[in-house]
Amino acid sequence: MTTESMLISEPDKDSGAETISDRLVLREEPFGGLLFFRRSRHLLRLNHSAFKFVEYLTRYGEANAVEKLADYYHTDSQTISQDLSEVLSVLRKHGLEI
């Protein structure tokens, strides 16, 4: 992945439903990444692990992200699930939802 902006998914203009890309922009950086919330204009700087968690969470959904992250980090799903809960807790503390 490059340091170019990466939209999580392309907006579906025909459905009328809000998509993740209507709300978020995720960009990889040398330090990890940036997560920009379009509506609130809130910007978070993420370390490498948090960036990977948010990337997988938005790409695969919570249930699938746990399994894929466990494979990526070569660890068990329970550990990843706990870590993912912590990342989501920090985001919620900032008033942000994915």
pLDDT at residue 63 in the model: 80
For residue 5, being part of any structural domain is answered with no
Beta bridge partners of 28: 33
- CB of 32 within 8 A of CB of 1? no
For residue 61, being part of any structural domain is answered with yes
Alpha helix stretches (DSSP H) within 13-47: 20-23
- Of the candidates 35, 42, 41, 39, which has an alpha carbon nearest to the alpha carbon of residue 87? 35
pLDDT band with cut points at 50, 70 and 90 for residue 61: confident
The number of domains in the chain is: 1
For residue 78, being part of any structural domain is answered with yes
> The whole model's pTM is what?
0.73
For residue 60, being part of any structural domain is answered with yes
- What average pLDDT score do residues 38-42 get? 86
d(CA 41, CA 79): 32
- What average pLDDT score do residues 70-75 get? 96
For residue 25, being part of any structural domain is answered with yes
- CB of 97 within 8 A of CB of 75? no
Q: What's the domain range around 44?
A: 20-93
